[in-house]
Amino acid sequence: MDFSLTLEVILMLTAVAAVAGFIDAIAGGGGLLTIPAMLLANIPPVLTLGTNKLQAASGALTASITMIKKGVVSPSKMKLAIAGAFIGSVLGTIAVQMSPPDMLEKLIPFLIAAIGIYTLFAPSLGEVEAEPRVSESTWQRVVAPLIGFYDGYVGPGTGMFFALGNVALRGRQIIAATGAAKVLNLSTNIASLIFFIIGGNVLWKVGLAMMVGQTIGAYAGSHMVVKGGSKIIRPVIVLVCLAMVTKYMMG
């Protein structure tokens, strides 16, 4: 579909994507900014979702590369989780086209609120390694695919679910968990994006412009994660959760 968006609007969306990329690299939830911004630009919902996946994938790729170069995460050790998250996202994307996620969407505010409360009050969240509650095999073969399915089916807060799930269930240190979350989120974003491209639901001009902003924001945010650790990640997660719950409660 052809749109005659002005240069000013495209530049505005690119700036929003930069802020979203920064937030996404630290805590996730950048779609809270980019999706409403595109809808305000009168881009139809399905094109908004497809274009959002394009620019979000670039941010996840940038953050992943940074984390890998810094030695925070090693994709070779999480091949099953990456594949599982990809497959889960594909299945979720197919499922959402057959059955709108009305019931699950009603649960999202409560899920996000639970994450915020857990992050706010959990003592020394992810500051040091802890005793795992589930095995590595269970995490990679079961949990990662389930979160991937959630991303394909609904989506909001996926990065936080990956990161905090790794902390709570695997006892991982929060910087390492955040790095792993970026790699897994990249996998789920690509899986969903493939289907949006096949369906012709991506605005390439807008998406490519926003990719520039996302890349810049993600680069800055991922470096801040490595330097600041939990002192940066925890408050940003709480603020993003608060913003997301507020958005859903207000409709």
Range of 200's domain?
Answer: 7-119+126-250
pLDDT greater than 80 at residue 230: no
pLDDT at residue number 46: 82
Please indicate, yes or no, if residue 1 is contained in any of the structural domains: no
pLDDT greater than 60 at residue 113: yes
DSSP per position, 102-144: HHHHHHHHHHHHHHHHHHHHSTTTTTS----SS-HHHIIIIIH
Please indicate, yes or no, if residue 2 is contained in any of the structural domains: no
- Averaged pLDDT, 168-197: 92
Note the pTM of the prediction, 2 decimals.
0.85
Please indicate, yes or no, if residue 214 is contained in any of the structural domains: yes
Distance of CA 191 to the CA centre of its chain: 13
Q: With pLDDT > 90 as the criterion, what percentage of the chain qualifies?
A: 47
- Averaged pLDDT, 73-91: 95
Number of domains in the chain: 1
Contact 180, 73 (CB under 8 A): yes
Please indicate, yes or no, if residue 141 is contained in any of the structural domains: yes
At CA 20, angle to CA 17 and CA 21, rounded to 5?
85
pLDDT at residue number 103: 62
What is the per-residue pLDDT across 35-70, written as a single tens digit (0 to 9) for each? 889 988 989 888 888 899 999 999 999 999 999 999
